[in-house]
Chain A
Amino acid sequence: MSALVRLYPRSWRARYEDEFLGLLEARPPTMRDRVDIVRGAIDARRDQRSPNRWERPVWAAAVSAIAAGGLWIAWLVLSVQAFKVAEADPIFGFGRLLATLAGLAAVASHLSLGFASVGRMRGWGGYAAAIAAVGFFITAIGGGAAALFALLGSIGLATAVAGRTVPSIVAVLWVVTVVGVFNAFAALVRTQWTDPSVMYQAIPFGIVWVLVGLTIGLLGMPSAVADGASTGSEG
């Protein structure tokens, strides 16, 4: 019987194994019970969060935040380079490639940001993230009008995440990040899209997310974030 119990995550066993085995001793399991135990083990591995936070997905949030920050920076750098190459290169092919890569980086960055903040994409926050990602992608490959959708999606995503993670530091980070995106776009508009390098102003926000990821990985996740993730949060 203990072989079946070993299917459960180690941290789950540390909390429940003793009483679980006591129950199985009091009521020897039928074949149907054994199947139920295997199902329970699969569920426990999927749902690795408990009152004592056994095996919460800290590593996933940390990696997501680092990836999000890195991709954020890649998106900005690639966008600026694509703009410059497109101006200098009449064939425009390399510029288009860079722009597409920038768009992909923007999509991956936003999805990673959402995952890093709340553990999974769900509800209207998830739709907002998708709108932001697609908006940034279209903007990056040359559709300037999609920037509006990108901004609206970012605001929606930030609102969903901030609402779920208040009062943790992540909520503040989201607000600051959106302000950063606004600043970058406002600078682009001020220069009438002639000086794309102003987008570099948003790079520090990517660095902040990398630092957040490193902090989460080293020190653990803020409790409000973990709670938000465990209750099926949006973002």
Chain B
Amino acid sequence: MKDEELDLGRFAEPSLYILVSLSEGPKHGYAIMTDVEAISGAPMGPGTLYGALARLERRGLIEPLEAVDRRRPYRLTGLGEATVRAQMERLSAISKTGLHRLRETSS
């Protein structure tokens, strides 16, 4: 998932956290917020959450399910799953490279 392709702007990072959260299974807004806070260690505001959800839905990365008692769960689409997988692999490669270089520098 290239941010410039999806044009997510300031929602790029929150969107990634949401995709990671939904990779566990469908969740509604409140559950996503709680989970993202646990993953990132920082709270996600409701305006940011719904700004990101709207963009992800529009790009076909997530889809809404039937609302129950004013709570509407969202789940990853096939495209969303492929996108988050590609993004995780990219971040993993960056992480490995960075750690490797740090080890080389310190040794």
Report A's interface with B, CB cutoff 8 A. Answer: 12, 15-16, 18-27, 29, 32-33, 35-41, 43-44, 47, 49-51, 230-232
Contacts and interface: CB of A to CB of B under 8 A. Distances in A.
Contact of A41 (B11, B47, B55): B47
Contacts of A231: 5-7, 59
A232 B58 contact: no
Contacts of A41: 47
B57 to A, nearest CB: 5
B32 to A, nearest CB: 9
A91 to B, nearest CB: 52
Contacts of B5: 231-232
Most chain B CB within a 10 A radius of its CB, from A23, A33, A44: A23
Contact of B30 (A15, A27, A232): A27
Most chain B CB within a 10 A radius of its CB, from A36, A44, A49, A230: A36
A22 B48 contact: no
B54 interface: yes
B61 to A, nearest CB: 11
Contact of A43 (B4, B7, B33, B47): B47
Contacts of B43: 32
B79 to A, nearest CB: 13
B28 interface: yes
B21 to A, nearest CB: 14
B51 A43 contact: yes
B46 A37 contact: yes
A40 B51 contact: yes
B49 to A, nearest CB: 8
Given A19-B28, A19-B67, A33 B58 contact: no
